[in-house]
C-alpha cells in the first residue's frame, strides 16, 4: 500500500467565524463519518488538520514575507494522509471528501515517497 497526502487548497477564509454552530457541527459530523469509513477500511493514515489562512513565506536567502490572502485559491488550508494501492484509488478516496461541500476548493493528491 502507498500513502498519499490530500492537500486542501482554497475555501472561505471566514468560514470558521461566519459559520453557525449548527452548520459547523453538521460539517464536522460529515468529516467524522468520512474518516471513520476510511479508518474502517484501513485507508486512513492521518486525518490531518485544518490550517489557518495567515502565515509566512520563507525563501532560501532568508527573506520572510506574509502569505497573501489575494492568493486564497492557492493557499494550503489543510491536509489528510490516506493509504491506497494506486493513485487512481487515492483519487476515488479524495472524491468523497467532505471538503467539496464548500465552494472554491481543490484537492491536490501527492504520493508520499517511500525512501526506506
Each residue's pLDDT tens digit, 24-63: 999 999 999 999 999 999 999 999 988 887 888 899 999 9
25 in a structural domain: yes
C-alpha 25/C-alpha 72 separation (Å) is 24
C-alpha 52/C-alpha 78 separation (Å) is 8
Q: Residue 91's domain spans which residues?
A: 2-111
C-alpha 61/C-alpha 53 separation (Å) is 24
116 in a structural domain: no
pTM of the model: 0.86
32 in a structural domain: yes
46 in a structural domain: yes
22 in a structural domain: yes
Q: What is the mean pLDDT of the chain?
A: 90
100: left (phi over 0), alpha (psi -120 to 50) or beta: alpha
Element (H, E) at 16: helix 15-18
13 pLDDT more than 90 = no
61 in a structural domain: yes
Higher pLDDT, 37 or 13: 37
3 state SS of 24: helix
Q: For residue 16, what pLDDT is reported?
A: 80
Amino acid at each position: 500500500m502507498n500513502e498519499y497526502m490530500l492537500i486542501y487548497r482554497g475555501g472561505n477564509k471566514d468560514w470558521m467565524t461566519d459559520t453557525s454552530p449548527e452548520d459547523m457541527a453538521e460539517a464536522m459530523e460529515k468529516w467524522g463519518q468520512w474518516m471513520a469509513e476510511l479508518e474502517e477500511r484501513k485507508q486512513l493514515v492521518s486525518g490531518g488538520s485544518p490550517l489557518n489562512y495567515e502565515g509566512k513565506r520563507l525563501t532560501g536567502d532568508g527573506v520572510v514575507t506574509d502569505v497573501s490572502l489575494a492568493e486564497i485559491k492557492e493557499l494550503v488550508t489543510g491536509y489528510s494522509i490516506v493509504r491506497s494501492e494506486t493513485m487512481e484509488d487515492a483519487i476515488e478516496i479524495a472524491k468523497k471528501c467532505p471538503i467539496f461541500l464548500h465552494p472554491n476548493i481543490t484537492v491536490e493528491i501527492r504520493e508520499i515517497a517511500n525512501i526506506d
